[in-house]
Amino acid sequence: MPNNVRNTKLSFPITGGCLCGAIRFSISTAPFDADYCHCRRCQQSTGAPVSAWMDFKLEEVSWLKGQVKEFASTDKTFRGFCGDCGSTLSFRHQDYPQYLTLAIAALDNPELISPNYHIYTSSQMPWFNLCDELPRYPGSRNQGNP
């Protein structure tokens, strides 16, 4: 089991969805990665100081009900949300079409998955105190940060 899974006795599929129930999804396996993102685009799109995300191969996610509406937040990134209630649900990058990122909080039981690190901490709100020992990256983890 990946180190971001809190309960090693998970049974799959695990389900989730939006606030109003118009969109439902299931995941067939544990995410291969999970993070806290402090970037300004996540802050603005969710209205929260930090977002918690989990990453999957596209075939590991099934949409059971409804359809995600997407907003192009950059030339290459798309943020998925419910067109009825506005719940943040997904993130995808045009350069990586084989992957899909889902909001951990959209799970029916979000306590099951825990992020492994923090990214874009250069945009972290100064009044938001972190009390964990997870690795922190001022930008993307792939940008050669410590």
Bridge partners for 24 per DSSP: 17, 65
**Token pair belonging to 55:** 């990453």
Predicted confidence (pLDDT) per residue in 61-113, tens digit = 999 999 999 999 999 999 999 999 999 999 999 999 999 999 999 999 999 99
Distance CA 65, CA 107 (A): 14
Three-state DSSP class for residue 42: helix
Predicted confidence (pLDDT) per residue in 3-45, tens digit = 666 555 788 999 999 999 999 999 999 999 999 999 999 999 9
CATH topology of domain 14-123: 2.170.150
> Would you list the domain boundaries of the chain?
14-123
Distance CA 43, CA 140 (A): 15
Q: With 80 as the cut, is the pLDDT of residue 2 above it? A: no
Stated pTM of the model: 0.91
- Structure-token match 């972190």, residue found: 130
**Residue 110 in contact with residue 116, Cβ under 8 Å?**
no
